[in-house]
Amino acid sequence: MRLVLPNPGLDLRIPNYEDLEKMEKEDGDRPKWDNKAQYILTCVGFCVGIGNVWRFPYLCQTHGGGAFLIPYIILLVLEGLPLLLLEFGIGQRLRKGSVGVWRAINPYLTGVGIASMLVSLLIGLYYNTLIAWIMWYLFNSFQGPLPWTQCPLNDNRTGFISECQQSSTVDYYFYRVTLNASASITDSGGLQWPIVICLLAAWTVICICYIRGISTSGKAVYVTALLPYVVLAIFLIRGLTLKGAMNGVKYLFTPDVDELMNPTTWLDAGAQVFYAFSLAWGGLISFSSYNPVHNNCMQDAVILTIITGLTSIYAATVTYTVIGFRATDKYDTCISENIRMLLNGFELPEDSITASNYNAALHHLNSSNPDTVFGLDIKTCDMQKLLSEGVEGTGLAFIVFTEAITKMPGSPAWSVLFFIMLLCLGLSTLFGNIEGVVVPLKDLNLFPKKWPQEALTGVTCLVSFIICLLFAQQSGLYWVTLFDNFAGSIPLLTIGLTEMIAVVYIYGIDRFNEDIKFMIGKKPCIFWQISLRFTSPLILLVILVFYLVTQAQQELTYLVWDPDYDEFPTLASVPYPSWINVVIFVLAGIPSLAVPVYALCRLVFVRCKKKMKPEKDINQI
Amino acid sequence: MLEKILLLLSLSLSVAEELCKPGVGEAYKVRFSIKTALGDQAYPWNKNEMFLFRAALAFAMRDFTNGEEFGVSDIHPCNETQRVSFWFVVTRPNTMDLVDKGTVEMAIKKSRNRINGAFLLTDKTLEFDGIYPTLAAPVSPDTPPWLIVFGVVMGAVSVGIIALLVYPLVQRKLKKNMDADDEDSDEETGVKTAENGANDGIYNSTFSDDERFTQM
C-alpha cells in the first residue's frame, strides 16, 4: 500500500541523515538527557499516574475481574504499542517538540501541535487541583488521631453535627471541611482558603521541579518515579497481612468471562490504554527529541508497555487488599451492630448470638417473633455491596482509602505514605504535562526569545495558578469533574487519530520505516507495519465514534453533595445548567477543532499572500 | 417477732414492686454489656454486683443533692433479665416518694465516670436508656499541624528556587573574575595566540595611544 498524500517541500523542512549525524557529534544547545535511565524513568513516571491506582482497579473489577486483563493486554499491544513507537520515533527523528514536529511534517498540520498544547493545558489545570487536594490530606496526616476519624460535636455536645452523623466522618471531612462543597455548580460560593494555599504549594513545587526544563525535572524523577513502587510494595505487605484482604483480591480477579461479550468492556479497555499512556499530549514527542539519534526507540516502546501493564496490575492488587480489609471491617461492624440490637431487643444473654450463629439465630427469632424483629430495623449486611462501594476516582483515594487507613494501627504513618505516593504519581505525570505546554509555547514564539527557561516555566505556572483558582471555589469539585469528563476524552482521541493518519499517510510510512532503520539499524517488522497502517487507526476510530455516540445520547447530569437531599448521603444526580454547553464546547470542541481551523486559516492566509505578491511584483517594475 | 419482720419485708418488697414499673413514671432502664467490655476477664453478674450498683447510684444521688442521705435501700431495681438489664426507681431517704426523672438524670450525668469506674465499664457498655453521655470534644491543637508542614514545604521550595536562580549568576561572576585573573597572568608570559572566541584580544597600548606622540 503506497498511499501517501502529496507533501511538497518535506525534505526542506526536516534535517536529513547527514545533518542528524552532525548534530549528534556537536554539542548543540538543545537539552539532553544525562543518561538513558532518566529518560526511561521520566516516561514511566509520565505514563504511570494516579489513574493506575484509581481508575484501572475499578474498571478491572466492574468488567469481569481477571477476564478484563484479556481485552486490556490485547489492546495494550495492538493500540498502545504502535502509538508509542510512532511518538517516540517521530520525536527522535525530527528533534522538535510537538508543534515543531507537526509543522515540519506539513505547516498545515501545526494545528495538531496547538491542539495537543491546549489539551495538555486544560488537563494540567485540573490535574494539579487533584494534587492540591492530595497535598492538603498529606499536610493533615502529620497528626494523631487523623482529623477525619472524628466528627465535630454539635452545639449542646450530646451528639455530632447532623451532616456528619448521617454520612460518615471521611465523607464530611472531604466534602465539608476540605472542599466546603456547595450544592450546585452555579453556586460558586467563595474561595476556600486552605485549597488556595495548597494550589499555591502544588504550582510552586511543579515550578521548582521543572524550572530548568529536563535538567531539573530529570533529577526529580529519580524520586517521583521510583518512590511509588517502594510505597506500593510496603502497602502490599501491609495489605496482605490485614484481615479480609484476600476477599478483596478474590473479588478483583474472579473472572467473569461473559463480560467479554459486552462491547463496553472493550471500549473501556481501549480508552484506558489510550489515556494511561498519555498519548497525544505532546510530552512523549518532546521527551524523545532529547534522545541521541541512534537510541533504540522500539525497545523503549516495548519496555514502557510492559512496565505500564505490570504496574496497573500491581497497583490494582494493592488497592484491593485495602478495599477488602475495609469491606470486611464494615461487614463485621454491621453484624455486631445487628447482634447488639437483637440482644437488646429480646433481652438475651450476651454470648447467645455470635457472628458464627448469627444467621441461624436471626432466622429462629424471625420465625418466632417477626413483629419485634421488624420493629428493630435490622440492616442486611452485604459483603459484595461493601466491596463495590465508591471505589473509583477521588472517592477511592479520599473516602475509601482514608477510612481504611484509620482502621490500621499507626494510621498517620500509613496516611503519610499513601499520600506521598499519590503525590509522586501525580507530579511525574505533570512533568510531562508541563513539557507539553511550555515547549509548544516556545516553538510558537509566544514568549520573547531572550527569556530564559526559568522565566518561561515561572510565567506558565503563575498563569495556570490564577486560572486554577476556579477550582478553589466551593463548586470546585464539580468543575474538576467537568474537566475530567470533557477536556480529556474526545480531544485526545481526535488528536491521536490525526497523528496516526499524519505520520502514516502524510509523512509516509515508508519514510518512517527508513528513519527507524537509520536510527536503530533494522526496519520495523510486519507487526508494526500492519498495526500502524490499519489496526491502530481503526481501533482509535471505533473508540472515538462510540464515545461521541454515547456522549451525545447521555443526559448531561452530575452528582452533587447536598445535605438537603432526601437520600442524603447518596450523591444527588442533578442536570447541568444550560450555559454548561458553552463550557463543554470550549473544553472539548476548541482543541479538537484547532486542527482543521488552523489549516483553514493558513490556507486563507497563504492565498491572500499569493494575491498580494503579484501586485507587489507589478509595482516594483 | 419473726413474723413482724417477715411482714415488714414483704410489705417493703411489694411496695418496691409497685414503685418500680418498667417504662412508667420515673423509672430508668440500665443495661450492662460486661462480656463485650471485658471479654475473658468478665465477672459474673450476681446479687453482689447489684448491691454495688445500688450503692454507686446512692452515692451519685448524695453527691448531686449535696447531703441528702440516700442509702442502698432507696434504689429499687426490678425486671432483671438475662441480658443483664433492669429498671430502677429512686426514692427519697426514709420515704416512699419517688425522685423525679430529671434529678436522677442530672445526678447520673454528674457521676457517670465514677459509676462506670466502679464496674470497669464505659459509657457504651453501661447504658442508661435516655441519658446521653456528653461527648469529649475532639482535641484541636492551637496551631493546626497542617500549617506547620505547609510552612516547611514552602520554605524548602522557596529556598530551592532562589538557590537555583542565584547559583548561575554567582557562577558567572566568579568566572568573570577568574577570566580577568587569567588575562593578567597571561600578559606576563609569552606569545599571544589568537584563539577563536577565547579572549577579545589584548589591548596593546603602544599602537593606540597616539596622543602622546602627536602632542608636540
pLDDT, tens digit, 9 for 90 and up, residues A311-360: 999 999 999 899 899 999 999 999 988 888 888 888 888 888 888 888 88
B134–A158 C-beta distance less than 8 A: yes
In this model, does residue A430 exceed pLDDT 60? yes
User: Mutate which of B146, B154, B162, B171 to test chain A, going by most A C-beta atoms within 10 A?
Assistant: B146
Closest to A10 measured CA to CA, from A517, A507, A443, A503: A507
A101: cell is 514536529
d(CA A453, CA A29): 12
Model confidence at A258, pLDDT cuts 50, 70, 90, reads confident
| Other beta carbons less than 10 A from residue A308's beta carbon | 23
Query: Is the Cβ pair B146, A211 closer than 8 Å?
Result: no
> Domain segments of chain A: what residues?
10-612
CA distance A413 to A399: 17
B190 and chain A in contact, CB less than 8 A: no
Percentage helix, strand, coil for chain A under 3-state DSSP, each rounded to 5: 75, 0, 25
Q: Which of A5-9, A34-38, A295-299 has the lowest mean pLDDT?
A: A5-9
* Facing residue for B35 by CB, picked from A150, A348, A350: A350
Q: For residue A479, which amino acid is it?
A: W
Position A616 confidence tier, pLDDT thresholds 50, 70, 90: low
Q: What is the mean pLDDT of chain A?
A: 88
What is the spatial order of strands in the sheet that B85-90 belongs to?
Answer: B75-78, B85-90, B28-32, B126-128
Burial of A469 from C-beta contacts in 10 A (0-12 / 13-18 / 19+): middle
Contact of A401 with A322, CB cutoff 8 Å: yes
Q: Which residues contact A284 (CB under 8 A, 6 or more apart)?
A: A43, A46, A84, A87, A88, A91, A278, A432
Using an 8 Å Cβ cutoff, are A437 and A124 in contact? yes
The backbone torsions φ and ψ at residue B76, rounded to the nearest 5 degrees and listed phi first, read -115, 105
pLDDT band at residue A424 under the 50/70/90 scheme: very high
Of A138, A153, A348, the CB nearest to B83: A348
Please indicate whether, in this complex, the C-beta atoms of A157 and B137 are within 8 angstroms of each other: yes
User: Residue B149: which of A139, A152, A207 has the nearest Cβ?
Assistant: A139
> Does B189 or A521 have the greater pLDDT score?
A521
Q: For residue A160, which residues of chain B lie inside 8 Å, CB to CB?
A: 135
The more confident residue out of A555 and A82 is: A82
**Grid cell for residue A525:** 517488522
**Confidence class for position B12, pLDDT limits 50, 70, 90:** low
Strand partners, B85: B31
Q: Do B81 and A347 touch (CB under 8 A)?
A: yes
Alpha helices for A347-471 (secondary structure H)? 358-368, 370-376, 383-387, 393-395, 402-406, 411-443, 453-468
* Residues in chain B closer than 8 A to A201 (CB atoms): 150, 153-154, 157
Query: In this structure, what C-alpha cell is assigned to residue A19?
Result: 545533518
Q: Which residue of chain B is at minimal alpha-carbon distance from A198?
A: B150
DSSP conformation class of A314 = H
Confidence band of B187 (pLDDT split at 50, 70, 90): low
Percent of chain A with pLDDT over 90: 38
Nearest to A208 among B134, B149, B157 (CB): B157
In Å, how far is A149's CA from the nearest CA of chain B? 10
Reduced to 3 states, what is the DSSP secondary structure of residue B126? strand
Compute the C-alpha angle A146/A379/A368, nearest 5°.
145
Which residues of B fall within a CB distance of 8 Å from A349?
82-84
* All cell numbers assigned to A104: 515540519
Minimum Cα–Cα distance from B86: chain A residue:
A347
Most confident of A19-33, A38-52, A376-390: A38-52
Above 70 in pLDDT, residue A38? yes
In terms of DSSP bridges, do strands A557-560 and B75-78 run parallel, antiparallel, or are they unpaired? unpaired
CB A45 within 8 A of CB A433: no
How many Cα atoms occupy the beta-carbon half-sphere of A291 within 13 Å? 29
Q: Convert the pLDDT of each residue in B190-202 to its tens digit.
A: 454 544 444 455 5
Q: Is B164 on the interface with A (CB under 8 A)?
A: yes
Tens digits of residue pLDDT in B127-175: 888 887 777 777 777 778 888 888 998 999 999 888 888 888 888 888 8
Instruction: For chain B, give percent helix, strand, coil, nearest 5.
Output: 55, 10, 35
- Nearest-angstrom CA–CA distance, B176 and A127: 44
DSSP string computed for A79-118: IIHHHHHHHHHHHHHH-S-HHHHHHHH-GGGHHHHHHHHH
Integer Cα distance of B135 and B133 in angstroms:
6
- Chain B: nearest CA to A351, how far in angstroms? 8
Question: Pairing relation of β-strands A557-560 and A572-575?
Answer: antiparallel
| Coil/strand/helix, residue A558 | strand
pLDDT exceeds cutoff 70 at A480: yes
Q: Which residue is it, cell 473516602?
A: A399
Residue B209 has pLDDT above 50, yes or no: no
State whether B164 and A348 contact (CB < 8 Å).
no
d(CA B134, CA B111): 12
Q: What is the mean pLDDT of residues A170-188?
A: 89
Contact A211 B164 (CB under 8 A): yes
pLDDT of amino acid A164 = 85
For residue A386, what is its C-alpha cell?
A: 461493601
Residue from B152, B21, B173 nearest B86 by CA: B21
Query: In three state form, how does the secondary structure of A31-69 look?
Result: CCCCCHHHHHHHHHHHHCCHHHHHCHHHHHHHCCHHHHH
What is the 8-class DSSP label of residue B23?
T
- pLDDT of A422 > 90? The answer is yes
Mutate to test the interface with A, among B33, B85, B131, B150 (most CBs of A within 10 A): B150
| CA proximity to A271, closest of A86, A63, A80, A99 | A80
- Per-residue pLDDT, B195: 46
Residue A141 makes CB contacts below 8 A (sequence gap 6+) with A412, A415, A416, A419
Does A524 sit behind a cis peptide bond, omega within 30 degrees of 0 on the bond before it? no
For residue B76, the SS3 value is: strand
pLDDT of residue B183: 65
Q: Which residue has the higher pLDDT, A372 or B138?
A: A372
Whether residue A204 and residue B158 make contact (CB cut-off 8 A), yes or no, is yes
Q: What is the mean pLDDT of residues A252-264?
A: 86
DSSP-derived letter for residue B31 is E
Q: Does the structure show a pLDDT above 90 at A420? A: yes
Chosen for mutation from A161, A335, A347 (greatest number of chain B CBs closer than 10 Å) is A347
Residue to substitute from A193, A196, A199, A208, interface B, most B β-carbons within 10 A? A208
Share of chain A above pLDDT 70, in %: 98
**Omega within 30 of 0 (cis) for the link into A8:** no
Residue of B nearest to A343 (CA): B83
Task: Return the minimum-mean-pLDDT range out of A286-300, B21-35, B113-127.
Answer: B21-35
Quote the pLDDT of residue B13.
57
Cα A496 to Cα A155: distance, rounded to the nearest angstrom: 56
User: Hey, are the CB atoms on B135 and A157 less than 8 Å from each other?
Assistant: yes
The set of cell numbers assigned to A551 is 456522549
H and E: helices and strands count for chain A: 32, 2
Q: Which CATH superfamily is domain A10-612 in?
A: Amino acid/polyamine transporter I (1.20.1740.10)
pLDDT category at B215 given cuts 50, 70, 90 is: very low
Most confident residue range from A88-92, A375-379, B83-87, B196-200: A88-92
Helix (H, G, I), strand (E, B) or coil at A444: coil
What is the spatial distance between Cα A61 and Cα A70, in angstroms, rounded to a whole number?
13
Q: Do B146 and A139 touch (CB under 8 A)?
A: yes
A45 assigned ligand-binding residue? yes
Residue B78, helix vs strand vs coil: strand
Degrees, nearest 5: CA angle B109-B112-B115: 140
Averaged pLDDT for residues A58-82: 88
A41: CB partners within 8 A, 6+ apart: A221, A222, A225, A226
Q: Is A417 annotated as a binding residue?
A: no
Q: Is B137 within 8 Å of chain A by CB?
A: yes
Locate A581 and state its grid cell.
Answer: 454547553
Q: Report whether pLDDT(B45) > 60.
A: yes
Pairwise CB contact (< 8 Å): B82 & A347: yes
Q: What is the pLDDT of residue B216?
A: 43
Closest residue in B to A137 (Cα–Cα): B146
CA distance A160 to A147: 15
DSSP state of A145: S
Determine the residue of chain B that is closest to A138 in CA distance: B146
Cis peptide before A145 (omega within 30 of 0): yes
Query: ipTM for the complex?
Result: 0.74
**Cα gap A158→A150, rounded to integer Å:** 14
Which of B38, B43, B83, B165 to probe the A interface (max A CBs under 10 A)? B83
Is A52 labelled a binding residue? yes
**Would the CA dihedral through B1, B2, B6, B7 be positive or negative?**
negative
Task: Point out the residue among B154, B160, B161 whose CB comes nearest to the CB of A201.
Answer: B154
Nearest CA in chain B to A354: B36
Q: Is A154 annotated as a binding-site member?
A: no
- Number of continuous H segments (helices) and E segments (strands) in chain B: 8, 4
CA distance A22 to B24: 101
pTM, two decimals, is 0.86
Looking at this protein, which amino acid is placed at residue A457? T
Q: Show residues of chain A in contact with B129, CB under 8 Å.
A: none
CA-wise closest residue to A458 among B75, B158, B102: B158
Chain B residues closer than 8 Å to A198 by CB: 150
